[in-house]
Amino acid sequence: MPEKLLKITVEGETAVEVPPGTTVGGALESVSGKLAGRSLAASVDGVLRDLSYALAGDASITPYDASTPQGLDVMRHSASHVMADAVLQLFPGAKLAIGPAIEDGFYYDIDAPRAFTLEDLPAIEQKMQEIIKADLPFVRREMPRSGARAEMENAGEIYKVQNIDAAEGDVISFYRHGGFEDVCRGPHVPSTGRIGPVKLLSVAGAYWRGDARNRQLQRIYGTCFPDKKQLKQHLLRLEEAKKRDHRILGRQLDLFSIQPDIGAGLVLWHPAGGTVRHEVEEFWLQEHLKRDYRRLYTPHIASERIYHKSGHLENYADMMYSPMDIDGEPYRVKPMNCPAHIMIYKSGIHSYRDLPLRYCELGTVYRYEPSGTLHGMLRVRGFTQDDSHIFCTREQIRSEVFGILDLIDVMMNTFGYRYSAFLATRPEKSLGTDEEWDYSTDALRNALEDRGLDYEVDEGGGVFYAPKIDIKLTDSLGRGWQGPTIQVDLNLPKRFDVTYRASDNTDTETVIIHRTVLGSMERFVGGLVEHYGGAFPLWLAPEQVRVAAITDDQAQYVRDACAVLRNAGIRAAADLRNEKLGFKVREWQMAKVPCLAVAGPREAAENLLNLRVRNEEKAPVAGPVQLDKLVQTVLNQVESRSLWPAEVDLRQA
């Protein structure tokens, strides 16, 4: 009796029949040699597999090459194995921990006999090139958990033993290329020769499993791309990112500092940084007041009782700081603003006619972050959130979320960010009924569709108490940033018995919508520094116009001009130093001030200023200009919150 053939659908269209045991790669080969040749891995009935995976039944296959996120991840994970192989060849005695693919690259955590340095990377990279050139096949083997654990224990691979203990299922897989083998669930590219150009980037310390109580390992970061051109472009972006690092520019432009005597993760805003923050906050407040938000102020500490009631102590104790004793009662510095906002709402009785109520606060909160995760202004322990809570009825969710999306669009466009939206749905572990999750998720979805906003569904990506909309920002270098978030809370209204008096005179549960538009001011301003490369647009710049005298004879004229500018509300400073003009111009350029107004004998005699701007090409005015026209031009640009004089049109970047 002839063997029954398997029916295989490729890319949802092409159907082929193959014998049982045919590999995924073989099935693709039967469709097209080119298709098989460029594929690195494939989804088989929704599960990512190696091309060497043997088919046992009818299946649907979607192949992935290096141009796809899935294929590129597989390539980068394979590159991490090659890097681990190279390290073991060069540094015998090293112990391997984990080596995942990450956004834009990969890393491997290694317990090495000595600390790695940047000088070690070229040798490791050279050894990787040799392994890639050898085109060694990746071969998978499987064994029962107990046998795999015993094998790793006998080999002294302490980290692999812990990985096996944490793995799911009763079968553990290994991958081998050449003489190197690693515990890994895969998949991998067919052979090392299918790995594109690689580059090792940096070395850092990393605690095992991210816990400071564990041993510190050596983490080597690398990247990998399908071709040299893409790798080169990525490396150029990294170089540009280094130039824009907010920590470097923060010192150079005197924006902020973090000092040991104050504490790690606690930002000191210097006058220049404080000015940028003030302008952002003023814009934020104006846009909220236009939309009928009511501004709140709440204390920095609160009785521990409120956090028992809210569930924060139950669910977030590891990020809260130890209590302080006040009159025999434990108090905490606040990690969230929502309990205080709810108590303000509950201080009175509300009718359905009062809703929606929109509360907003620039509220400072404090959360513990491990020291190894702190990063300038982007990851801190004390930060000010642009927090808002909207109290409304179920029927109002859709329109309220629509209004939030409108606010997000206005603010992100003003700062020159492109953005994308994600609808995060119910996770496996969650609170609330099916009906509550359905109506709240549908309201978020309908609001997105009402605005015509394209979005992706993040299945199971919601928090345990709420579905949410996440907005991801794209900056001028094409990098992604976590942006605004909108959540429909199914937890706190019940915990606090938050109600309103309905039209039928019954007390009905109020809906609470949590949202931030900017997130934390520290992270947002730190991101702006990198987005603009420190060259803020005119309306945000700490110093908007610098007025420089060519000689001492123009000093009084420059002082008077600065007074006129300041009286008009323009941030102006005088440069009266006894230095050559070329020196003053270079200083102005280094300080990234938008405008330099130079006064010489002619300008002083004719009430002019010779204006230079960072981006002459798009300047609304330049060269000799009357002082009153300069004032009006600057005020017009500030009032419109124009991105001028940014180096590039950031919205098109």
Residues annotated as catalytic (active site), given as ranges: 338, 367, 385, 387, 389, 468, 514
146-173 residues labelled b (16+ CB within 10 A) or e (exposed):
eebbebbeeeebebbbbbbeebeeeebb
How far is it, in rounded angstroms, from Cα 19 to Cα 576? Answer: 86
Element (H, E) at 139: strand 139-144
The CA distance from 652 to 16, in Å, is 45
Q: 369 with 523: CB under 8 angstroms?
A: no
As a whole number of angstroms, the distance between CA 83 and CA 107 comes to 9
Structure-block tokens of residue 179: 């003489």
Three-class SS of 417-436: CEEEEEEECCCCCCCCCHHH
The CA distance from 516 to 134, in Å, is 52
Instruction: Give the integer Cα–Cα distance in Å for 568 and 251.
Output: 29
In order, the DSSP letters of 493-560 are HHHTT-EEE-TTS-EEEPEEEEEEEEEEHHHHHHHHHHHHTT---TTT-SS-EEEEESSGGGHHHHHH
Locus of tokens 């391997």: 96
Note whether 24 and 51 are within 8 A (CB).
Answer: yes
Of the candidates 544, 486, 541, which has an alpha carbon nearest to the alpha carbon of residue 516? Answer: 486
- Residue 379 CB partners (closer than 8 Å, separation 6+): 265, 369, 373, 523
Task: Please say whether the beta carbons of 192 and 177 come within 8 A.
Answer: yes
17 φ, ψ to 5°? Answer: -115, 130
List phi, psi (to 5°) of 482.
-65, 125
Element of type H or E holding 402: helix 397-415
Q: Which of 152, 545, 500 has the alpha carbon at shortest distance from 349? A: 500
Identify the three-state secondary structure at position 271.
helix
Cis peptide before 335 (omega within 30 of 0): no
Backbone angles phi, psi at 117, to 5 degrees: -130, 170
What six digits make up the tokens of 458? 């993040």
As a whole number of angstroms, the distance between CA 498 and CA 513 comes to 13
Q: Which secondary structure element, helix H or strand E, spans residue 159, and what is its range?
A: helix 158-166
How far CA 343 is from CA of 262, 303, 350, 363, 510, in Å, comes to 32, 13, 13, 15, 13
The structure tokens listed for 315 are 């669910």
Give the three-state DSSP class for 24. Answer: helix
- Is the Cα torsion angle 81, 85, 91, 93 positive or negative in sign? positive
DSSP codes joined into one string, 209-245: GG-TTSPEEEEEEEEE-SSHHHHHHHHHHHHHHHHT-
